[in-house]
Chains A and B, each alone.
Chain A
Amino acid sequence: MLVSQTLDIVTTAAILYVVAAGLLIVFGVMKIINFAHGGFLTMGGYSALAVSDLGLNPVLSIPFSFAVGTVAGMAVERLVVRPLYSRPLDAILATWGLGIIIGQVITLIYDRGVHFVQSPISGAVLVLGEEYSKYRLVMVAVAIAFGGALALILHGTRLGLVTRAVIMNEDLARGLGIDSGLVRFVTFSLGSGLACLAGALITPLSSVDPSLGISWLVNVFMLVLVSGVSLFSLGVAAIVLGGAQVLISSYANPVYGSMAIVILAALLLRVRPRGFASE
């Protein structure tokens, strides 16, 4: 029980991390919560479905969903988000509406039915004497790769440097000649790409239907709020709050467990407004 519970916590945190990463970087740069994140997750699920319908290797859904999300993100940033830069509240509303539109367009193309994507990895593997789902373990590696790649971009590239400058003080960065509009464009596209990729990555664990992303949106929204803009504190938040969800589900019941992240995050923000962020 102890082994499987530890694995449950680690894998749940990993999945939350993967799903939340795209939302976090958009929030960091643009200071808006992208409510279309749920729509992009759904889009990713359907990208995986399209790959599987064409009979291609399921691994191809990784680059394909990332490309779909990035291109969609570029269009959305240019047409919807950019005109609303000076009105952040309206921008949040616009992304909310956009999420609904994405869901409806998908419904028009694919109907409301539940679809099913073949998993590239299936079955269980023996870990310390416990049978455990292989795919959930793979998600831990994926989460580490997500975090590592994003950290590398932010701290090891020129793009990362200017992005961090925009995150810290956008006006000052602009004063130094940094094209903050371009940084926003790139970040939003990358965040959308990551959201879509995450949507494709969770399909082996869930069904593909028009509300695929909605069930994740509230939880990852709370996670991002308590982690500030740090990739590291997002990891901490995912482990602590995801762990609380698993433990409450096991020892109380799953109905309470499903509310754990939202309630605990709200309480945490009340006593410590900066959440898990270090400064």
Chain B
Amino acid sequence: MPELHPLQAIKIDFPDGVYVDVRLERNVDHRIRFCDGELDDVQATVETGALIRVLREGQWLLASTTALDEINDVIADLASSSVLPPTERDVGVESLIIHRDQLWIFDDERIDHQPTTAKLDFLKRLIPSMDRPGIKTWNARWLDQHRDRRFVSSRGADVSHDYQECGVILGFTLGLAANAIQESFRASNHRLSELESQSERILNELEALLDKCERFAQEAVAVDAGPATVILSPMAAGIFAHESFGHKSEADTMLGDPQMLEDWKMGSRVAAEGVSIVDAGGGLGSGYMPYDDEGQKTGQTHLIKDGLLSGRLHSALTAAALGEPLTANARAISFRFEPIVRMTTTIFEPGTETRERLFAGVDDGYFIETVRHGSGMSTFTIAPGLCWKIRHGELAEPVRIAVITGTVFETLSEIDGLSDQVEIPFLVGGGCGKMDQWPLSVGFGGPYVRVRRMDVS
């Protein structure tokens, strides 16, 4: 039986006169890939490492290492370094709440202890679905990751927790030449047994997606570019929430810009009435993060509440700089990187309409069902996959749309309906990128969201 939590055994010596925190990680990843019917890759990666942060005279000195037996030497070196001039800057470590906790919630069925053959078998069950005449090329991937994390600090914090996810991605090109569509199907969960118990549903969903793609390849027409009413699926809405407003709510973008703080006063109207966006890290799913990478317990932060600006996402540094409460959003993709302000699970909260009534309110528009990727600055961009014309409240023919774009605030103010049920897709693989840190597991979702005007091309 493998040792479960070797990170707990590591003893850290904290020197006097400096603040030190150490984030220890053990990461295990497995990948299996089939390409066009042939097993193409089976890989396992194990890495153990630590990021050491020493705060000396107002300046951060950091080092990442995979030699865990040398951590105390690294701390001593950093603590004696005077490479940066002293500053009086408050970086917020005094406000960090000291937690001592262990949250090993995946010990009952660690994905890194499951046999590769079981994962291979699960993937193989889905592969026969790729045997459709319209599918020209495909790949099927199994991905899983298990992360053990421990955060300790010279102020007494000692927090350990784990995260894991597993799932499949089947990517395919269906149809010929200009009429072809490239799509992917994902199914994910935290445990292999959870995936296996849902295998029939997963297979049915895959077949249903393939049916839609076949129809798309045969019938899709080019979009009439221009402004249009659009209904976003929960996945598309989640990406929109993440890209359009989530990134704007990360407070590190406001450092050194008092004018922006003035313009972004809490209580300002930033969206239509009834629109609320919330970021929360405690719930299970791909954005699960019970403690952030500064040892702070995650909670729930409303970014927009009923159309009004109501919160921002913070690390210790940004909370201190802006004089606002900590929100436990300091995250790093691995021990190689320092924590920066990141989202966890970001969603639109539900509205009051049924899905049917929401669609009934569109005489002429589009439904964005799947999304390939998104990005956002002052304008956001979503690259859709499957899209459908809405005519007189009903889904009509499939439509080829390259991108939908809009100005963030104008688009948020154009939302005139949200359905009453939230869906949060669990997405294995991929994630959010910021600066040089990609991919970070995040969650996003929402209800169906109707926007009166978005630019479609």
- A and B: bona fide binding partners: no
